[in-house]
Amino acid sequence: MKPVTFEAYQLLRDGLVEFSGMEANGICVDVERLTANIQEVEGRVKQLTAQIRQTDVWRLWLKIYGGKANMGSRPQLARILFKELGFKGEQNHDTNRYILDEATLANIDHPFCKMFLEIERWKKLHGTFLLGLQREVCDGYLHSFFNLHIARTYRSSSDSINFQNIPIRDQEVGAYIRSCFIPRGKDRVLVELDYSGVEVLVAACYHKDPTMIQYIENPGKDMHRDMAAQCYKLKPKQVTKQLRYCGKNMFVFPEFYGSYYAQCAVNLWNALDSMSLTLEDGTRVKDHLAAKGVTKLGSVSDYKPEPGTFMDHLKDVEDDFWGRRFQVYGRWREDWFESYLKNGGFNTLTGFRIDGIYGRNDVINYPIQGSAFHCLLWSFIQISRQLRRRKMDALLVGQIHDSILADVHVSCVQDYLILAKEIMVDRLMEHWKWIIVNLKIEAEVTPVGGSWHDKKKVDDIYKFAL
DNA sequence: TACTTCGGCGCC
DNA sequence: AAAGGGCGCCGAAGTA
């Protein structure tokens, strides 16, 4: 850990103090609800397990493994699927073990795999989240740790339990665990404030790419939509919400983090079937691509994609992405890495030094990830101090990289929202002159008597009313 | 029994 | 030339 400016040292020191306060505050847990949810999920796991034991595959499993047969063992299941039932499986090149992750199982067309994934989904909720929380909760409160001395990027981490990976994407699973987090009183609510797209904004502060800045500053422009259009050979207007999601999470972000066209192509191509991608008028995107002359995924050999395939197309999209559209960003990545090779390290915009042996992707990603978190950290410190100074009935209870969770009395929700916005956007931009794009935040508030799962977006914090 | 390693997966 | 960044936790399986 090496803050190279006094200010960077102060940021960690003050952050440590405020995080300690937050840990002591803790977050209120509905213990009865937690117990009930554990019961319910255990019941579901038992029922699904009984069901899967009736299948032929499980009978085969028992025949081969006898008393050692373990429904939770993926290595055992891999043997059944790939050695006994003849499905094609990939192996880890170093260990020769079969890969049997969710994507692999989802692509095997067999009901047993679907059932297995369903059970795993609920077991993950049960073991990691519900029992984990029950183990750590004390007198109705959870006091997770929030560390500032762990991550190589100078981000934070959290443990006992990790408060930064509570399920939310899978709404059904998320509900079981998030409904256990509640405000510490009948007349209070939870308020969550997060920076929107802060890593993209902070990246722009490093590379200053004019095209990227236009995308950021112009609300009519949409990078993810445009890239989805290009990847699937569509007009931007044809891009549905689902297609935009694919552009964002299967091309744009992977490219930012250092993936490359061949990997993106596989994911975008598999999504055509697995997500049944269609246009507004019902046309299958796969058929649309076929009409444009692209009928095969294709592969790469001798560093060259097979001509005329989707793979080949994605190579063109990538070349265009870094070589033309975001060429300043692309050049920054090369220059930044060159400079690292020459100097053996680099400094972040927030005043930290990162020395040591790192790969290209690390060198490009660390400063962005770290500085983005430091925006949150600086705001967190200021908000926490102001709440004390103004004797407001609001406590900070959690932090998730780019968001702050507070437990607020109904009488001061609006004051809290306005104070926090002022600090997170206006004062932070005054404080760090290197922030050259406008920061934005989103607010979510739970109903009175609701849980973290019930949080709802606030349209306009200045017109907020409970 | 206690500990470590690995694969996998939850979040940003 | 290489090819997805950061964490923490779980269960399985191997080792001492």
What is the tens place of the pLDDT at every residue in A27-56? Answer: 999 999 999 999 999 999 999 999 999 999
Taking the CA of residue A96 and the C1' sugar atom of nucleotide B4, their distance in angstroms comes to: 20
Contact A404, A379 (CB under 8 A): yes
CB-strand contact A304/B, under 7 Å: no
Is the pLDDT confidence value at A1 over 60?
A: no
Q: Would strands A300-301 and A304-305 be described as parallel, antiparallel, or unpaired?
A: antiparallel
Distance CA A116, CA A80 (A): 13
What is the average pLDDT across A369-388? Answer: 98
For A71-92, give the secondary structure using H, E and C: CCCHHHHHHHHHHHCCCCCCEC
* Residue recorded with tokens 């932070």: A428
Residue A430, H or E segment: helix A428-431
What is the average pLDDT across A152-177? Answer: 97
Distance CA A252, CA A246 (A): 9
Distance CA A419, CA A417 (A): 6
Q: Which residues, by CB, come closer than 7 Å to strand C?
A: A 68, 70-73, 75-76, 123, 127-128, 131-132, 135, 147, 150-153, 155, 157-162, 164-165, 250, 253-254, 257-260, 263, 267, 303, 359-362, 365-366, 369, 401
pLDDT of residue A65: 94
Taking the CA of residue A70 and the C1' sugar atom of nucleotide B2, their distance in angstroms comes to: 22
What is the average pLDDT across A270-278? Answer: 89
Mean confidence (pLDDT) of chain A = 96
Choose among A443, A437, A447: nearest CA to A202: A437
pTM for the model stands at 0.95
Tell which strand B nucleotides have any atom below 7 Å from a protein Cβ: 6-12
Neighbours of A393 (CB within 10 A): 18
Taking the CA of residue A149 and the C1' sugar atom of nucleotide C13, their distance in angstroms comes to: 32
What is the tens place of the pLDDT at every residue in A86-97? Answer: 999 999 888 889
Taking the CA of residue A166 and the C1' sugar atom of nucleotide C7, their distance in angstroms comes to: 13
* Residue recorded with tokens 């422009």: A221
What is the tens place of the pLDDT at every residue in A287-325? Answer: 999 999 999 999 998 889 999 999 999 999 999 999 999
What is the tens place of the pLDDT at every residue in A393-428? Answer: 999 999 999 999 999 999 999 999 999 999 999 999
CB-strand contact A162/B, under 7 Å: yes
Tell which strand C nucleotides have any atom below 7 Å from a protein Cβ: 1-13
Confidence of residue A338 (pLDDT cuts 50, 70, 90): very high
pLDDT of residue A10: 96
Taking the CA of residue A176 and the C1' sugar atom of nucleotide C11, their distance in angstroms comes to: 21
Is the pLDDT confidence value at A152 over 60?
A: yes
pLDDT of residue A274: 83
For C7, nearest residue by CA–C1' is A157
Taking the CA of residue A464 and the C1' sugar atom of nucleotide C4, their distance in angstroms comes to: 39
CB-strand contact A239/B, under 7 Å: no
Structure tokens at A456: 């709802």
Residue A204, H or E segment: helix A198-207
pLDDT of residue A444: 98
pLDDT of residue A302: 87
